[in-house]
Amino acid sequence: MEFEPKIVAFLCNWCTYTGADLAGVSRLKSPANIRVIRTMCSGRVDPTFVMKAFDLGADGVLIGGCHPGDCHYAEGNYKTLRRAHMLKKIMRKYGIDEKRLRLEWISAAEGDKFQEVTTTFTETIRSLGPLDWRKRIGKGDRTEHTVAV
Amino acid sequence: MPRLKIEDLDKIADQQRRKMTVREGGGKAKITVHMGTCGIAAGARNIMSTFLKEIEAHNAHDVILTTSACAGLCSREPMATVELAGQAPVKYVDLTEEKAKKIFASHVLQGKLVQDYALSIGSERIQ
Amino acid sequence: MVTVKIDGIEVQVQEDTPILKAAEKAGIWIPTMCHSELFEPYGVCRLCSVEVIRGKRTRIVTACNYPVREGLTIQTNSAKIQWIRKIIMELMLSRWPNVKVVSEMAAKLGVKESRFPSLERDEAEDACILCGRCVNVCREVVQAEILAFAHRGIKREVVLPFGDQSNKCIVCGACAHVCPTGHIKMVVEDYKGKKPEFTLGVKTPISVPTLQAVPRVPVIDTESCIYFETGGCQTCAKVCEPQAINYKMEDEIVEVEAGQVLLTTGYDLFDASKLAQYGYGRLDNVYSSLDFEAILNSTGPTGGKVVMKNGNEPRSVGILHCIGSRDVENHPYCSRVCCMYALKFAHLVHDRTDAAIYQFYIDMRAFGKGYEEFYSRLLDEGITMIRGKAAEVVERSHGINGDGSLLIRCEDTLIGKFREIPVDMVVLCNAIEPRHDIEAIRRIFSISKSPDGFFLERHPKLDPTSTMSDGIYIAGCAQGPKDIPDTVAQAGSAAARILSIIAKGEVDIDPIRAFIDEKYCAGCRMCNNLCPYSAIDFIDDKKISQINDVLCKGCGTCVAACPASAITGKGFSDAQIFAELEGLLAI
Amino acid sequence: MKQYRLQVMVCAGTGCVSNHSFELKEALDREIKKHNLQNETEVVYTGCNGFCGAGPIVVVQPDGIFYQLLKVTDIPHLVEEHLLKGRPVKKNLYTPPAEKTPIPKMADIPFFSDQTLIALRNRGMIDPEKIDDYIARGGYKALAKVLTSMKPDEVMSEIKASGLRGRGGGGFPTGVKWETCKKAHGDTKYVICNADEGDPGAFMDRSIIEGDPHAVIEGMIIGAYAIENVHQGYIYVRMEYPLAIKRFQIAIQQAREYGLLGKNIFAKGFDFDLDVRRGAGAFVCGESTALMASIEGRPGEPRAKYIHTVEKGLWDCPTCLNNVETWVNVPQIILKGAKWFSSVGTGDVSIDPWGGSKGTKVFSLAGKVNNTGLVEVPMGISLGDIVYKIGGGIREGKKFKAVQTGGPSGGFIPESMLDIPVDYEELTKIGSMMGSGGMVVCDEENCMVDMAKYFLKFTQEESCGKCIPCREGTKRMLDILERITIGEGTEEDLLLLEELSNMIVESSLCALGGSAPNPVLTTLKYFREEYEAHVKNKKCPAKICRQLLTYTIDQKICLEIGHGCGVCKKNCPDAAIIGERKTVHYIDPVKCGKCGACYDVCNFNAIIIE
């Protein structure tokens, strides 16, 4: 059976989540690999959520927020941007390829962009292969990126 | 220049009086030094400067000093005519600096004729 | 009040009233030439000379500026006065024999011809008679002081500074307005490099901007009003009896506290001059749809007559659809309203003129109630429909120097042929496009734009009037091109939504709030600065932070940041999200 | 302080300056140094002496020896003979016409001796650029008197009682004007000195300013004090008077330094300052409203004066405008009293301010008299006295024809009226006016039509062109006069001219237009026969109007004396002269362009003009 990545998407309520809705209304097909969690703001996405998602078996995490300057809560997406940088560092330390986390600004009007992002991201993760982080930790193999690189 | 006070007007007028007297032609006395060639040769120029110095020394604003040509009596040069306002002119002859000083002090300033040096009173009139 | 006797008639007037006014009150006509109510009496034509008798003294004075005093006796038409006036008219006639105001006044005063031959004779019918009205109006009323007299005596003339057009001239036209002979003329040119919005005629600075507006109040255009240029004129204030003119009134920012906002900021018309091939702004008689609306308007510059720039009725009119819309280079969307108003134009032109009418369309979209029927009716009226977007509009090259008529080139896709249609007038159906400042508005209200650039609704099907921001609603062309019935429907819906909340008296807010558990808060204050709404305060007494529920919007930024996990996002608590994650990733 | 025996007063009025008086002073200084006389002789510039026809003028004091028409080359001889040796140089003295012996003393020359000096009292006496000279002659004493011992009202009543009337032309009683200005509402008021002297041939204002600027300033300060609420004054001088402007500026500067202008004058709590405003030389700017418009920076055009300038003048504030000569009289009236002033002149002004003409009037005497220049005469003196006594009679013994007073606004007065006294009302009665004081004497060789045309041409050119009667009317009048002088006039033209003149007088906006026809009206009245000769006989009796003359050649002289030399034929631009050499020449009257070239070139006076 072909590998179907599990991707968790944390989507901001005002932009990307609505954008996803628009994609649906516009009959734009997104990959079924995307499993959406709605947060009020991308700024709500606690780094632990991302790590927890990997821990629970996610192969990739997508965070969708509003375009800079457009945040419904004024500047929540800037905090997200900061955290995404930090998260990538942590992921490297844990041996997770940083490509497995993707931060995208998708506005409520960008249904097409949502489709494009989800599709390409799914393909990226698919090419990276399964993470199976929990199993690897169990085996003491924590260096996915060294393998990959 | 300072701002003027009212009394300064008179001071300025006073300083300028001599000049004005000369121009206006008024004045208490008029001294005419006869300065033809003969007069100058006999020393009229000295007499004239003496009178001028005296005027300055006594601050006599109202005395006019003037010159004229030869008075015709060349032998008695240097000559001068002193004319007090309202009086007949008096001709003095054979003047020296001392004589001139005396005439100025006595006749011009005090109005006392100096008989000794005087030639005549009155003058000829030209028609 | 003083009493004066004018030609035997006693009148009571205010002291110092000019004789001319007093005479007017007594119903006595005094001839004038240089006088105008607009400015202080100038008193140079001397035609209004009258005899004033005061006691034994008789004087000849000018009525325009002589102030009356108690007991004056005034003779306005004695033999002597008649004699003076006649000679004045003879003097004027000898110099300007063909000027209408002069010869008319001369005839009125019984002068047929002048006894004085003149070397300065000017045969022109519109000669300057040096009355000074233009100079005075420019100085006193307009206060621009552009026009002035130059030279002395018989060489006197009215000149511009250094004899040239001055950039200080505000081109108000007051001089031309007061000129009694037509010597000063207004030439319509671009003013200060600005292209007039509607190059269709003269518009006064005071106008009712939209005739259908409620309340229908005239406003002053500060860009063209003389007062705002020079501080002069103020004629409107002088004539307005209720004293309603207020020059000090400025555009002001009014702060209104509102719980809900309905955005109906409308649209901009696509600038057709961007599409040079259609010649808008370059060729005479190429109009935008809004220009043409103005022409059709019975209160518009042409009084509703369909005429060309030269005043003639057009022999044929071409109406070009989809200018800037349905065009990948500009706006890919359909502006929706053009087809129908283009049909309306055609109908009205057909109604008012004998012109042949051509419509150049891509598709006819008569989608609304009764629209298709209207389209059928138009076809019956004999409108020529050409399916095919017009390629370009050019001046006809044949004829002597071209006669200003135009040629529309297009491909008629129904017959598959290239066609050239000669027309006198072209009307462009410009696209509806988002307001130029829509981005700024959008940011103020934290709402989004759809890819076409209009405001984005919360849901295209389920909620087309509200937005992502609570209490912010949109309607009309601000949301997307639509016609009047659609706009009314959307606005009505939005109004109903707003009213429903007002009627309820209270607002439901989402219970999504953050909450600090005092037990775990270490008082690090990391969250305090993070909060975009300043909803978190540090409580000094307790040495912990606390969230103000009213200010908190529930974004959760603080929740994510709290190192002690003391903050919980209600509805989005860590536990809930983890549970969600577990659920999602279980399979 | 240095005392000098001799004072050489060099006239530095414009007339003498243009005749090189500055160079004269340089030469004098040079020669005096050469003869070592610099310690007893002072060379001083003075203002205009008035006898401009005799310029450049040097007066040697104390004897008052009057030298005229000096040249730089005369100076070495003059210094040696007069300054050194005390012998006046005869050839440079003034000799009255028709006499042979010269008059050495200034005071004995009738031109000077018959004058009464009030306005010109300091002429030739002071250096106008030295305030101390002015103070030495009693200057600013009147101001001191006014500020220490007189209330503004007292000053006012003194001026009223003196009967002083405006010297600019109109003759409006000065006191009445001041009083109206004082009573006018307004916290800011102005005084103006009108020095925009524009009449052709009139230069008394210029002369006063150049000779005695402080007197004008003092008069204005006193006026400002009397009127009250006046703290700023303007002197409006035409740009054509650069020397006057300079002298005023120097005088104002000196007065400011002495604290006589500015804040708190003489520590009496009275503030007043003055500024010079320069006019661009439009004649009409002498009219008060036009002058004020010009000061305000607007075109100098008059306005209707139904509301007087004393109520609404400069910048709509009450403004008192007086002529230079009027202001100059004020300090003297204050110093010497109204009674002294009103003792000179005609009539009685104690009840009616218009009842008489008091004091003196300065005239600039010009034309065909022997002595031309500036004269100050008591009011009431007859015109004949001015022409014959002061003016020294008509040049070359010719016959007097008329005297024109009042500049271009005045009229011509015939011989029969020479005994008329100089008085505002008398002059107005006979159709002329006092005006600012121009006086042009005409002799039998003046054509009155031509004279009228000359003055009218001036007013027509200087008309501002604001109102129709003046702008159009004067030009049409000039057209008619032009026609008459070239022999195309008709008898109807005379009637038309008269009618048009009367209409312009009645209906013009300002006094310039209202008085412009006066020269024409008076000549029409007193010299109508000359006009008729032009119109009916096509002849100009004075042989001035060239187009009316006929040129013929005296055949006898031409042939017998000139032997038909043919010079005239060669020079005739119209080829109107016929005749071969050595034969009689003739002039073809049809071809003759009446240029007069033949007359000028004929060596034998064979050309006859009729």
Q: What is the CATH number of the domain that holds C10?
A: 3.10.20.740
Task: Summarize pLDDT for A34-80 with one digit per residue, the tens.
Answer: 999 999 889 889 898 999 999 888 999 999 999 887 788 878 888 89
Is A110 in Cβ contact with C560 (below 8 Å)? Answer: no
Of D307, D500, D507, the CB nearest to C46: D507
Residues C428 and C298 in one domain: yes
- Cα–Cα dist D386/B41, whole Å: 48
Q: Which of D153, D131, D304, D277 is nearest to D215 (CA)?
A: D131
Residue B90's CATH number: 3.40.30.10
Task: Summarize pLDDT for D141-170 with one digit per residue, the tens.
Answer: 899 898 888 899 999 999 999 989 988 877
Q: pLDDT category, C477, cuts 50, 70, 90?
A: very high
Give me the residues paired with residue D323 across strands: D194
Residue B36 has pLDDT above 60, yes or no: yes
Q: Per the structure, how many domains does chain B have? A: 1
Of C44, C117, C155, the CB nearest to D467: C44
Element (H or E) spanning D30, and its range? helix D21-34
- Cα–Cα dist C13/C30, whole Å: 17
- Tokens for C546, please give them: 């606390």
Is D125 in Cβ contact with B24 (below 8 Å)? Answer: yes
**Residue count (chain A):** 149
Which SS3 state, helix, strand or coil, does residue A146 take?
helix
In the prediction, which pLDDT does B122 show? 62
Residues C33 and C132 in one domain: no
- Cα–Cα dist C265/C453, whole Å: 13
Which SS3 state, helix, strand or coil, does residue C536 take?
strand
Give me the residues paired with residue D551 across strands: D609
- Tokens for A118, please give them: 């989800």
> Which chain A residue's Cα is nearest to C449?
A109
Q: pLDDT category, C397, cuts 50, 70, 90?
A: low
Q: Which CATH class is domain D131-351?
A: alpha beta
| Number of CB atoms found within 10 A of residue C163's CB | 9
What SS3 string covers C310-339? CCCCCCEEEEEEEECECCCCCECCCCCCHH
Task: Summarize pLDDT for C25-63 with one digit per residue, the tens.
Answer: 888 899 998 888 888 888 888 999 999 988 888 889 999
Of C404, C433, C462, the domain-final residue = C433
- Cα–Cα dist C545/C541, whole Å: 10
Q: Which CATH class is domain A7-136?
A: alpha beta
Is D3 in Cβ contact with B56 (below 8 Å)? Answer: yes
Torsion of CA D574, D579, D580, D581, to 10 degrees: -90
State the maximum Cα–Cα separation within chain B, in Å, rounded to a whole number: 57
Task: Summarize pLDDT for D98-116 with one digit per residue, the tens.
Answer: 677 888 888 788 788 778 8
Q: Judge whether D413 and D420 are in contact, CB under 8 Å.
A: yes
Is D85 in Cβ contact with B37 (below 8 Å)? Answer: yes
Mean per-residue pLDDT of chain D: 87
Residue B123 has pLDDT above 70, yes or no: no
- Cα–Cα dist D361/D442, whole Å: 21
Q: Which CATH class is domain D550-609?
A: alpha beta
In the prediction, which pLDDT does C264 show? 94
| Number of CB atoms found within 10 A of residue C16's CB | 12
Residue C201 has pLDDT above 70, yes or no: no
- Cα–Cα dist D475/C91, whole Å: 10
Residue C197 has pLDDT above 80, yes or no: no
Chain C residues lying within 8 Å of D476, measured CB to CB: 91, 94, 116, 118
In the prediction, which pLDDT does D236 show? 93
Task: Summarize pLDDT for C70-87 with one digit per residue, the tens.
Answer: 888 888 888 899 999 999
Cα separations in angstroms, C276 against C197, C273, C280, C283, C394: 18, 6, 7, 10, 10
Chain A residues lying within 8 Å of C553, measured CB to CB: 73
| Number of CB atoms found within 10 A of residue C160's CB | 14
In the prediction, which pLDDT does C379 show? 92
Residue C529 has pLDDT above 90, yes or no: no
Q: Which of A112, A22, A117, A106 is nearest to A70 (CA)?
A: A106
Element (H or E) spanning A25, and its range? helix A16-25
Residues of chain D with pLDDT under 70: 1-3, 98
Give me the DSSP letters along A61-90: EEEEEPPTT--TTSSHHHHHHHHHHHHHHH
- Tokens for D262, please give them: 């500015």
The fold adopted by the segment(s) D359-443 is Ubiquitin-like (UB roll) (3.10.20)
Q: How far is C-alpha D413 from the geometric centre of its chain's CA atoms?
A: 17
Chains with ≥3 Cβ pairs under 8 A against C? Answer: A, D
- Cα–Cα dist C95/C105, whole Å: 14
- Cα–Cα dist D133/D145, whole Å: 19
Q: Is residue B103 part of a domain?
A: yes
Helices (H), D163-241: 174-183, 204-211, 213-227
In the prediction, which pLDDT does A84 show? 92
- Tokens for D514, please give them: 């209202």
Task: Summarize pLDDT for B41-73 with one digit per residue, the tens.
Answer: 778 888 888 888 888 888 777 788 877 777 777
Question: How far does the CA of residue C260 sit from the closest CA of chain A (Å)?
Answer: 17
Averaged pLDDT for residues C295-312:
81
Q: Judge whether C449 and C438 are in contact, CB under 8 Å.
A: yes
Is C555 in Cβ contact with A44 (below 8 Å)? Answer: yes
Q: Is residue B9 part of a domain?
A: no
The fold adopted by the segment(s) D448-536 is de novo design (two linked rop proteins) (1.20.1440)
Q: Per the structure, how many domains does chain C have? A: 5
Q: How far is C-alpha D398 from the geometric centre of its chain's CA atoms?
A: 23
Of C45, C80, C83, the CB nearest to D468: C45
Q: pLDDT category, B18, cuts 50, 70, 90?
A: low
The fold adopted by the segment(s) D6-108 is Glutaredoxin (3.40.30)
Residue C328's CATH number: 3.50.50.60
Of A35, A58, A76, the CB nearest to C555: A76
Q: Which of C291, C293, C280, C368 is nearest to C324 (CA)?
A: C280
Give me the DSSP letters along C82-140: HHHHHHHHHHHHHH-TT-HHHHHHHHHTT--S-S---TT----TT------HHHHIIII
Give me the residues paired with residue B40 across strands: none
Is C459 in Cβ contact with A21 (below 8 Å)? Answer: yes
Q: Higher pLDDT residue, A59 or C282?
A: A59
In the prediction, which pLDDT does C398 show? 53
- Cα–Cα dist D172/D511, whole Å: 14
Chains D and A touch (3+ CB pairs under 8 A): no
Q: pLDDT category, C176, cuts 50, 70, 90?
A: confident
- Cα–Cα dist B97/B51, whole Å: 9
- Cα–Cα dist C467/C226, whole Å: 44
In the prediction, which pLDDT does B124 show? 54
Q: Using only C-alpha atoms, what is the Rg of chain A?
A: 15
Residues C373 and C459 in one domain: no
Q: Is residue D516 less than 8 Å (CB to CB) from chain C?
A: no
Q: Is residue A78 less than 8 Å (CB to CB) from chain C?
A: no
Q: Is residue A130 less than 8 Å (CB to CB) from chain C?
A: no
Residue C195 has pLDDT above 50, yes or no: no
In the prediction, which pLDDT does D44 show? 85
Domain residue ranges in chain D:
6-108, 131-351, 359-443, 448-536, 550-609
Q: Which of D357, D166, D119, D324 is nearest to D236 (CA)?
A: D324
Q: Is residue B62 part of a domain?
A: yes
Task: Summarize pLDDT for D20-48 with one digit per residue, the tens.
Answer: 888 888 899 988 888 888 887 888 888 88
Residue B126 has pLDDT above 90, yes or no: no
Q: Which long-range contacts (CB under 8 A, 24 or more apart) does C209-217 make?
A: C211/C297, C211/C299
Mean per-residue pLDDT of chain C: 87
Averaged pLDDT for residues C248-266:
89
Opening angle at CA D300, ends D297 and D306, nearest 5:
110
Domain that holds residue C183: 128-246
Task: Summarize pLDDT for A115-127 with one digit per residue, the tens.
Answer: 999 999 999 999 9
Q: Is residue D479 less than 8 Å (CB to CB) from chain C?
A: yes
